[in-house]
Homo-oligomer: A and B are copies of this chain.
């Protein structure tokens, strides 16, 4: 009998498996590598969220949500709100520059949903980094599996896999932080089904609504856990069945149980890729391949043609509709435009956060070169295990080719500590990189018994000098 056959014979549902795992975490000794991965996810998420929170609309939203007596810090704003709305804000901010991490196999930006929810839960009850870490691990294990079980089905329907899976991840995270029992956790996962969704309609016009997908997922998961704590019951078969998640929003529930069967055996949080670039993850390896060719002496002025090869499931985000991708309407939408990102890398030799400043769209050098770019389908690529990229450039000096099978920052090609620290400091520093570096050290070295509220106070103190 296989593990999943045993599970089926016990008549356990996928949410039973998830709830039992989440509820058992507080009595489990977690592998050091898993705790280390969770700590990295927290630091990286705080960094990109503080960067994202500078968006004017988010700063205005922070004012609307602010409560003097709120327990939830709105990262990067110096304000507080009720915890669920702090989770919402921080999740939206985490996704603000599209600089947050991704589980490639699941195609889920899990940290954007999970970390803010777990943080708010820990703040609300004045809990510790140890509790926060447990929540982040629980949330990631659940969110990654929901995304993997979908096999791209949510995305094919027109939905943001991140927010669909993230609602359950956020609920699991809060349940773990609060150490709810398995019954309550199962109810919370069931109630989360009411919040699972998030359209990809922003793809057509690059509107900011995208940020609210993880925002609402984080908030929904938090409130589902709160409702379960209050005693509300949720459907036991939220993943399976005629009206379950995968039937309603995906391609059907086949294989869900198997995906949940090795919780605690395989740790998906270790499989998360940290982004070195603030744009769509699917374009990272392509840009690195472009930079490799450029670095070997290419004359950018003499380029005739740039041919990229990408896995077909990435086309929706980077290449459709092609006309709109060649003429992006906002600097934000350049983050999701293959031709512009490739042209930007070729002209500047690098892409950083500063590349997306408001003058970007008037750069005719980049716009012109973007017209030379084309893309074709990569038949048998390693996607989604990794997000590969492959480029062929024709210029007056001949043909050059480069292929990156693995996105840099993938667990098999991890960023080094210096790069991660520099990313954090660049994201958080508002005129004072020393304070940012100090905050990095506090976040990365605090003992697990440190209270999350103390971390929040550190953050607020580190960010008060800037124009925020």
Chain A residues near B (Cβ < 8 Å): 56-58, 60-61, 63-65, 67, 69, 82, 84-85, 88, 157-160, 163, 187, 190-191, 193-205, 207-209, 211-213, 215-216, 219-220, 223-224, 226-227, 229-238, 241-245, 247-249, 316
Contact = CB atoms under 8 A, between A and B. Distances in A.
Nearest to A202: B235
A57 B236 contact: no
Given A82-B67, A243-B158, A201 B163 contact: no
A213 B201 contact: no
B216 A194 contact: yes
B235 A57 contact: no
A209 B198 CA distance: 19
Contacts of A160: 194
Contact of A199 (B65, B233, B244): B244
A198 B204 contact: no
A239 B219 CA distance: 24
B209 A64 contact: no
Contact of A57 (B201, B224, B230): B230
Contact of A211 (B195, B232, B247, B248): B232
A71 to B, nearest CB: 11
A245 B159 CA distance: 9
Contacts of A227: 57, 61, 212
A232 to B, nearest CB: 4
A199 B235 contact: yes
Given A64-B226, A216-B220, A209 B234 contact: yes
Contacts of A241: 201, 204
A209 B193 contact: yes
A300 B133 CA distance: 62
10 contacts: A65-B226, A88-B223, A163-B194, A193-B198, A200-B248, A201-B244, A201-B245, A203-B243, A204-B237, A216-B223
A269 to B, nearest CB: 25
Contact of A229 (B64, B213, B235, B244): B64
Contact of A61 (B201, B202, B230): B230
A235 B207 CA distance: 5
A199 B196 contact: yes
A64 B199 contact: no
A235 B205 contact: yes
Given A82-B67, A159-B248, A212-B232, A243 B199 contact: yes
Nearest to A244: B201
